[in-house]
C-alpha cells in the first residue's frame, strides 16, 4: 500500500461531517478516517473544548490530537444563519454526520437528524448522548467521572478498602467511540442494500453497561450468595525490583506454579485442593506467594513462570511497552509528525496497514477557506464570513 494514500482503505470515498466535541464523537470519526473516509471537523469559534484539557501547546493536547487524527478543520459559527447554511451544504454531500451534544441542542440549531436527512435521505446521522435522548436523566451532563461512578466501573475498580476508584483514563468515552463505529458501520452496510440512511443513537451509559456485561450478569447471578473467585491465586505481586501479574486457571497450572515457586507441598495441602477450596483461602495463598515472589527480580520470575507455563507478565509503563521486542516486531506504533511537536509514537488503529502514514490532527480552523471553497464560496464570500467572525481560518 502506498504510504501516502488510503486508496485501498474500506471507507475510501465516504465523507464524514464531525460536529462533535470532546472524545467519544471525535474519536469515532477519527477511526472512520483512519480507514479511508474524508473527515471534516466543524469547530465553533474558540475551538473544541478538548483543546484546553490536559496540557500541550497551541491547542494540541494529547486528547485533541489522538481524537482528531487526519481530519480537516472548519471553524464556523453554527449559531449564525450564514454558518448554519455552510454546514447544511456539507451535510447535503456527507455520508455520515457525528454529533454528541445534549438532546435538543442540534434541533435548536436546525441541524438535527430530520432537518439534515430531509435533503439527504441516505445520510447516516450518529447521535452520542450521556444517558439517552429521553427520560429523567436525558439532559444530564455525561462526563467520564460521572459515567464511571454511575455505571459501576468505579465500584468494579475499588481499592482493597472497598473505596470506589475511577480508572485513570477516559474509559466511557473511548468504548462509546468503539461501539459507535460498529453501529455506523452496520448502518452503512444496511444503506448499501436499501439506499436509505438512518438515525443511529448511542449513549455512554449503555456502552458502559454493554462493556461490563459479564460482571453485571455475575453480580445479578450471585447477589446474596457466595461468589467464588474467578481464579486463585491471581493478582499483581511485588518482586525484588518491580511488579508482575500472575493468574492460575486450571488445577494443572496450580501444580506447576507450586513446583516453580519451590513449594511442592502446596500441591497436597487439603485447603488448597481445588479452585473452590483455594477461593476460601485466597488471602492466605496470595500472601504466601507474595513472600516468595519478593525474593527475586521480575525478569527471574517471568522466565521461571513462563517455563512452567503459568500465565504471567511484567507490569510495564508505557515507555516499556513501546520498547518491548514484541511491540517492536509487530510494528504496533507509528511515528506521528504533529506540529508543534517532534515526531511522537502513536499506536496504529488495529487492523490497518503498518505502512500507512498517520496523518496529524488539524489546528482549529486550519482548513476553513479550503473547505468553503469546495462548497462553492468565492474569496469575497469567505472574506465576508471572516470579517463577521462567523468563519475563522486557523
Strands (E), 13-130: 15-18, 38-43, 72-76, 96-99, 124-129
| Residue 294 burial (10 A CB sphere; 0-12, 13-18, 19+) | exposed
CB 286 within 8 A of CB 160: no
DSSP tag of 52: G
| Alpha helices, H only, 118-274 | 144-150, 153-156, 171-194, 204-211, 213-222, 251-260
Distance CA(210)–CA(200), nearest Å, equals 17
C-alpha cell, 241: 525490583
Cell of 261: 515457586
Q: Which residues pair with 203 in a beta bridge?
A: 129
The verdict on whether 387 is a catalytic residue reads no
Instruction: Please identify which of the residues 173, 241, 317, 378 carries the catalytic annotation.
Output: 173
Angle at 308 between CA 291 and CA 283, to 5 degrees: 30
Selection from 314, 234, 325 nearest residue 278 by Cα: 234
Phi, psi of 334 (to 5 degrees): -115, 165
- Contacts with 180 (C-beta within 8 Å, 6 or more apart), sequence order: 24, 25, 28, 98, 126, 128, 200, 202, 207
**31 close to 177: Cβ distance less than 8 angstroms:** yes
State the catalytic residues.
173
Amino acid at each position: 500500500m502506498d504510504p501516502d494514500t488510503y486508496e485501498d482503505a474500506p471507507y475510501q470515498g465516504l465523507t464524514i461531517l464531525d460536529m462533535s466535541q470532546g472524545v467519544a464523537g471525535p474519536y469515532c470519526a477519527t477511526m472512520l478516517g483512519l480507514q479511508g473516509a474524508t473527515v471534516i471537523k466543524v469547530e465553533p469559534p474558540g475551538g473544541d473544548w478538548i483543546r484546553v484539557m490536559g496540557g500541550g501547546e497551541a491547542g494540541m493536547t494529547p486528547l485533541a490530537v489522538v481524537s482528531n487524527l487526519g481530519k480537516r478543520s472548519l471553524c464556523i459559527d453554527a449559531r449564525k444563519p450564514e454558518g448554519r447554511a455552510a454546514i447544511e451544504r456539507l451535510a447535503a454531500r456527507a455520508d455520515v454526520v457525528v454529533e454528541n451534544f445534549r438532546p435538543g441542542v442540534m434541533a435548536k440549531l436546525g441541524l438535527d437528524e430530520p432537518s439534515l436527512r430531509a435533503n439527504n435521505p441516505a445520510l447516516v446521522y450518529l447521535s452520542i448522548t450521556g444517558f439517552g435522548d429521553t427520560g429523567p436523566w436525558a439532559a444530564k451532563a455525561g462526563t467520564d467521572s460521572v459515567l464511571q461512578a454511575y455505571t459501576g466501573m468505579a465500584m468494579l475498580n475499588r481499592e482493597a478498602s472497598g473505596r470506589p476508584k475511577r480508572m485513570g483514563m477516559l474509559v466511557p468515552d473511548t468504548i462509546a467511540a468503539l461501539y459507535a463505529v460498529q453501529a455506523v458501520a452496520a448502518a452503512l452496510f444496511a444503506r448499501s442494500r436499501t439506499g436509505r440512511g438512518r438515525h443511529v443513537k448511542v449513549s455512554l451509559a449503555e456502552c458502559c453497561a454493554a462493556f461490563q456485561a459479564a460482571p453485571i450478569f455475575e453480580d445479578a447471578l450471585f447477589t446474596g450468595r457466595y461468589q467464588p473467585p474467578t481464579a486463585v491465586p491471581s493478582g499483581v505481586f511485588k518482586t525484588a525490583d518491580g511488579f508482575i501479574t500472575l493468574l492460575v486457571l486450571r488445577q494443572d497450572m496450580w501444580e506447576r506454579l507450586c513446583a516453580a515457586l519451590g513449594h511442592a507441598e502446596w500441591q497436597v495441602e487439603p485447603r488448597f485442593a481445588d479452585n473452590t477450596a483455594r477461593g476460601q483461602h485466597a488471602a492466605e495463598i496470595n500472601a504466601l506467594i507474595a513472600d516468595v515472589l519478593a525474593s527475586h527480580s521480575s525478569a527471574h520470575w517471568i522466565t521461571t513462570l513462563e517455563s512452567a507455563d503459568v500465565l504471567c507478565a511484567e507490569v510495564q509503563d508505557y515507555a516499556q511497552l513501546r520498547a518491548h521486542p514484541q511491540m517492536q516486531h509487530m510494528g504496533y506504533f507509528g511515528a506521528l509528525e504533529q506540529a508543534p511537536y517532534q515526531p511522537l509514537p502513536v499506536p496504529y488503529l488495529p487492523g490497518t496497514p503498518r505502512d500507512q502514514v498517520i496523518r496529524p490532527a488539524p489546528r482549529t480552523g486550519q482548513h476553513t477557506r479550503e473547505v468553503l471553497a469546495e462548497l462553492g464560496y468565492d474569496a469575497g464570500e469567505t472574506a465576508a464570513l471572516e470579517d463577521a467572525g462567523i468563519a475563522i481560518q486557523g
